[in-house]
Chains A and B, each alone.
Chain A
Amino acid sequence: VSIVETRVLLRHAGDPNLKTIDGYRSYGGYGTLENVYGEVEPDTIVNELEESGLRGRGGAGFSMGKKVSFLPHGNQTKYLCCNADESEPGAFKDRELMQRNPHQLIEGIIIASYAAGIEHAFIFIRGEYDRQADILDAAVAEAYEAGYLGKNILGFGHDLELTVHRGAGAYICGEETALLDALEGKRGNPRLKPPFPAVQGLYGGPTLINNVETLSNVSHIVANGAEWFKSFGTEQSPGTKVVSISGRVKRPGNYEVELGVKLRDLIYGLAGGPLDGHEVKAFYPGGSSSPVLTPAELDLPYSFEAMAEANSMLGSGSIIVADDSISIPHMALRTARFYRHESCGKCTPCREGTNWTVKMLERVVRGEATPMDLDIIASVQQNIIGNCLCVLGDSMAMPVSAMVNKFRDEFEEVIATAALTGLPTSDGYESREDGADPVPAGVELEVIRRERLMGRPIPQSAQQAAEELPSV
């Protein structure tokens, strides 16, 4: 496998000096901004962004230029919020971009604000990213001092205040309307849409909300043009993407590649493939919210459209690899527990759906479930999808249903093994309440077959596990 990274956003990122305004300027930083003021009309920038086809890098993949064009023209107070609340399990690219190159983001925010006629911008950064927030604070202070922020920027009459706002630990605040509530000083509950933030967002004003990576692309597109940007990636997914690869691979980390490279190249090439002696069993292609894919899908190109076609999504561009040592039912439970913890509780399908999914999956790994429960789990997921106020409920339902559908045999095997042995099949979870004594073989096998497996044959591995236990 041969693949190279194509670094645009992570270019020079190995230089620790890049964090400072002098370091950033030594590579031509803020040059675009200085050329834009007085030279380029705001509408030209909006057109260029729209023409470039840049799609949002936070998860939804919506055209950034279109988003800007949705903002009303005129003199009302508008806001820009940079979504740096990166909390999706598997995603850590914004952290890298902010800690290595904060000025690239700030320059993008200033140009986008100029294009959209915005005078107050915010960076909403998750509270856990304390070091990154410190780096941003320092960079923002430098930008103020250099005259790139504040009143009458570079003497061209555009004012822009930029406020770094630290969250305090809530995944839901990455949802754009919950982010607005959190920024307004409330509990981070999502709002009903419409009205969309572009019409009525922060403090009731039209608001542009974009991800860190999206905004980091802005100065490059404005400097080099839409055609240059489209020379990377595929027709529907232009540009480069910082991909976070983690899980059971040899070299986890952030890699910047052109969109459309093969998944196999990413997982086996850049990330070094699975750990020695193991094989890839499944992977989330776009963070924990994306339906899992199997090794059969490794040769798909990594693009928004190809992932959608495979009934999954590119999301924030975070690949989590599970190998043969990972039990899929336990992974489903781990995923569901996360969403149960993070559900804000405002709407019923999500609050109840995440809770019951966890309870049912716990029964699966404790061996108290029947295969019929798997159908119920699948049906609960179908009743969550599309019925919630925001996408958090769907974010659990989609991967969990994909796991139940694609790995149903393994779920049944886990049920049978746990029921036969009376022990959890993997560490980390409580054993059955009625004690952990192994049941005597023979009679119990029949009971298990009748009661828990509804007459189906007991999987070979479960029988083996039961036979290996000491007899009572």
Chain B
Amino acid sequence: MDEFTPTEDFMSPGLPVDEANTTGRRSLGDPEEVPELSEVDCPDGLREAIEASMARYPDHKSASIPALWAVQRLYGWCTPEGIRQAAAVMKVTPAYLESVASFYDLFRLEPAGESQVLVCTNISCWMRGGDELLDAFCEAAGADRGEAGHGGALSDDGKVLVSGFECLGACDLAPMASVNERYFGPLEAADAKTVIEQLRAGEEVLPDKALAARPLPGGDDESDDGRVTSLKGPNR
């Protein structure tokens, strides 16, 4: 008698074959292949930026975060097509880059408007009205407060993303917000309306509340041995 060999019918009689379960150790390869550069219409500027990043690291995969930044800067968010383009340049699968992008809070996997307002609601800001500041930004922008607290919400005109955020590292400005990657604070609820209006009009945002304009709290005066004796600075 012939040696018994299991057939697909024997393993799943009458049912469609589920390759992933039935083919044992046979590798199915990556579910999605690395796209060819010729298949994706990658703009030259993006390709050059990513290649320059890859050259700065001993292992080119280290450029995945810089590459995603480049995609986000170009398209406003990490679009599926942008991720495919970056993947083609880096010679990795789009799934790999997407897995990286989904880990980090600053990468947006959905449209994110033209401007982004991140309002810190962590401990120090919360103590000084961070939640209320987020309320005020949502009201001024016409953004959904519930969504804004869970990853971000777009304003009614779709131009401004308002998002509650974990500690931004500026507790001295509490309550504060990061507007298009620049820090402002301490803010009052009324400032929210001003910021949204300034963003919509394309004006400079709150110049006198920028972190860049802030002196050291202990003052800039010092004696020759580096011991500060004067205590000047913003007293709130």
A interface list, Cβ under 8 A from B: 4-8, 10-15, 77, 86-92, 94-96, 120, 126-131, 163, 165-171, 182-188, 203, 244, 246-248, 250-255, 270-272, 284, 288, 318, 320, 322, 326, 331, 334-335, 338, 341-342, 344, 427-428
A-B contact pairs, 17 of them (CB 8 A): A89-B166, A95-B170, A96-B216, A128-B169, A128-B181, A130-B181, A130-B182, A168-B65, A184-B59, A185-B57, A246-B172, A247-B124, A247-B174, A250-B236, A320-B127, A335-B123, A338-B123
The reply to whether B218 and A5 contact each other, CB–CB distance below 8 Å, is: yes
Task: Count A/B pairs, Cβ under 8 Å.
Answer: 192
Among B59, B123, B221, which residue has its beta carbon within 8 angstroms of that of A185? B59
The reply to whether A187 and B103 contact each other, CB–CB distance below 8 Å, is: yes
The reply to whether B218 and A270 contact each other, CB–CB distance below 8 Å, is: yes
Instruction: For the A-B complex with A96-B216, A251-B233 known, give 6 more contacts whose Cβ atoms are closer than 8 Å.
Output: A4-B228, A4-B229, A92-B169, A131-B182, A185-B61, A186-B64
Among B59, B106, B124, B226, which residue has its beta carbon within 8 angstroms of that of A246? B124
- Contacting residues, chain B, for A248 (C-beta < 8 A): 127-128
> For chain B residues 67-111, which have a beta carbon within 8 Å of chain A?
68-69, 99-100, 103-107
- Contacting residues, chain B, for A272 (C-beta < 8 A): 235
- Contacting residues, chain B, for A320 (C-beta < 8 A): 123-124, 127, 171
- Interface residue SS majority, chain A: loop
The reply to whether A171 and B172 contact each other, CB–CB distance below 8 Å, is: no
**Distance between A334 CB and nearest chain B CB, rounded to angstroms:** 5
- Contacting residues, chain B, for A6 (C-beta < 8 A): 226-228
The residue on A at minimum CB distance from B126 is: A334
Among B59, B69, B171, which residue has its beta carbon within 8 angstroms of that of A247? B171
**Distance between B125 CB and nearest chain A CB, rounded to angstroms:** 9
**Distance between A208 CB and nearest chain B CB, rounded to angstroms:** 16
CA distance A130 to B211 in the complex (A): 12
Q: Which 8 A-B pairs have the closest CB atoms?
A: A14-B220, A253-B217, A246-B171, A169-B105, A168-B104, A169-B106, A185-B64, A130-B181
CA distance A188 to B127 in the complex (A): 29
The reply to whether A131 and B211 contact each other, CB–CB distance below 8 Å, is: yes
The reply to whether B171 and A7 contact each other, CB–CB distance below 8 Å, is: no
A166-B66, A167-B104, A251-B236 known; A131 and B183 CB under 8 Å? yes
The reply to whether B127 and A322 contact each other, CB–CB distance below 8 Å, is: yes
The reply to whether B216 and A184 contact each other, CB–CB distance below 8 Å, is: no
Specify which of B62, B64, B66, B181 lies most central, judged by the most chain A CB atoms within 10 Å of its CB: B62
The reply on B28 being an interface residue by CB < 8 A is no
CA distance A184 to B96 in the complex (A): 13
CA distance A284 to B65 in the complex (A): 33
The reply on B41 being an interface residue by CB < 8 A is no
